[in-house]
């Protein structure tokens, strides 16, 4: 059973899958994708849940071989790596989630031992990645109509999509990181892309992981090889800036104008 808990979160298309796999590269990590969105544990946690509720789900996720939580299909497709070196019983359970941001603050209160990494991507980059991912943004929907509300993608409880949700979630994460600096840390996706080894070493030190050759090898592969697919973690660093030439000018200009001079303007840098 796990001895420690960590989580990775952020808005969809913010680099959480890639950074999640960086953490998963540690032999001492058991990584589980969004337990609350899996069939096994769906609807088992809502607002006003108890610590016992969370511990039951986390223990179950650690022990489960559920294909969704293990991302088996993406590993078989080559979109995710398969790490050859893993301890039989890793001490650190890491969950990754993008949905259910409404549960984040309560989760931290109920699990004070948890460390939470929140990944923030430039809003134009996050919106561009979402709007151009066929499996994420409905092909028959109009980006100019839905980029702000995210309504075209939302289908139920816990869904967070679109620019308005980016603002809400980013403010939530920034506040919690300020209030709980020992428990929560905010990182920029762009900084990871630009200096992934240095950022990874800082992250591993914070959550108590050793930096091994398995991690170093994945960092090299993830930025120097390319595997197609909406969810692939093997991409050129150049994807970071694609929005500058590809995002619709109406969307780009609205985002930059609305955030200028606000508390969120720092994420435009």
For residues 76 and 79, what is the distance between their CA atoms, to the nearest angstrom? 8
| 3-state class (DSSP) for residue 5 | strand
Residue 111 belongs to domain spanning: 4-268
Query: According to the model, what pLDDT value does residue 156 have?
Result: 87
Are the C-beta atoms of residues 189 and 121 closer than 8 Å to each other? Answer: yes
| 3-state class (DSSP) for residue 122 | coil
**Structure tokens given for 119:** 């990944």
Residue-level pLDDT, tens digit, the chain, 269 residues: 999 999 999 999 999 999 999 999 999 999 999 999 999 999 899 999 999 999 999 999 999 999 999 999 999 999 999 999 999 999 999 999 999 999 999 999 999 999 999 999 999 999 999 999 999 999 999 999 999 999 999 988 999 999 999 999 999 999 999 999 999 999 999 999 999 999 999 999 999 999 999 999 999 999 999 999 999 999 999 999 999 999 999 999 999 999 999 999 999 98
Query: According to the model, what pLDDT value does residue 259 have?
Result: 99
Using CA atoms in the order 200, 206, 208, 214, what is the torsion angle rounded to 10 degrees? 0
Are the C-beta atoms of residues 266 and 122 closer than 8 Å to each other? Answer: no
Give the total number of structural domains in the chain.
1
Q: Indicate which CATH number applies to the domain containing 49.
A: 3.40.50.300
Global pTM value: 0.96
pLDDT, one tens digit per residue, over 138-164 is: 999 999 999 999 999 998 899 999 999
Residue with tokens 């499996």: 135
pLDDT, one tens digit per residue, over 88-119 is: 999 999 999 999 999 999 999 999 999 999 99
Are the C-beta atoms of residues 53 and 61 closer than 8 Å to each other? Answer: no
CA-based radius of gyration for the chain: 18
Residue 192: phi and psi, rounded to 5, are: -65, -45
Q: Kindly report the number of other CB atoms within 10 A of residue 219's CB atom.
A: 18
Beta bridge partners of 123: none
């Amino acid at each position: 059973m796990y001895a420690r808990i960590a989580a990775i979160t952020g808005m969809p298309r913010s680099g959480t899958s890639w950074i999640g796999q960086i953490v998963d590269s540690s032999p001492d990590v058991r990584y589980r994708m969004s337990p609350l969105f899996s069939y096994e544990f769906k609807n088992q946690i809502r607002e006003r849940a108890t610590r016992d509720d969370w511990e039951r789900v986390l223990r179950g996720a650690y022990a489960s071989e559920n294909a969704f939580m293990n991302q088996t299909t993406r590993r078989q497709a080559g979109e995710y790596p398969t790490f050859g070196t893993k301890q039989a019983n890793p001490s650190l359970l890491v969950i990754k989630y993008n949905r259910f941001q409404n549960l984040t603050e309560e989760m931290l209160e109920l699990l004070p031992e948890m460390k939470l990494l929140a990944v923030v991507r430039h809003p134009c980059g996050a919106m561009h990645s979402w709007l151009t991912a066929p499996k994420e943004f409905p092909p028959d929907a109009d980006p100019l109509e839905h980029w702000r509300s995210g309504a075209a993608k939302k289908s139920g409880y816990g869904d967070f999509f679109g620019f308005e949700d980016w603002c809400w979630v980013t403010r939530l994460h920034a506040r919690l990181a300020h209030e709980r600096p020992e428990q929560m840390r905010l990182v920029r996706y762009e900084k990871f892309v630009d200096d992934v080894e240095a950022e990874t070493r800082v992250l591993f030190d914070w959550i108590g992981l050793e930096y091994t050759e398995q991690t170093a090898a994945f960092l090299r592969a993830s930025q120097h090889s390319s595997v197609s697919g909406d969810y692939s973690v093997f991409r050129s660093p150049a994807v970071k800036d694609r929005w500058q030439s590809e995002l619709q000018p109406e969307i780009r200009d609205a985002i930059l104008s609305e955030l200028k001079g606000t508390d969120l303007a720092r994420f435009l840098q």
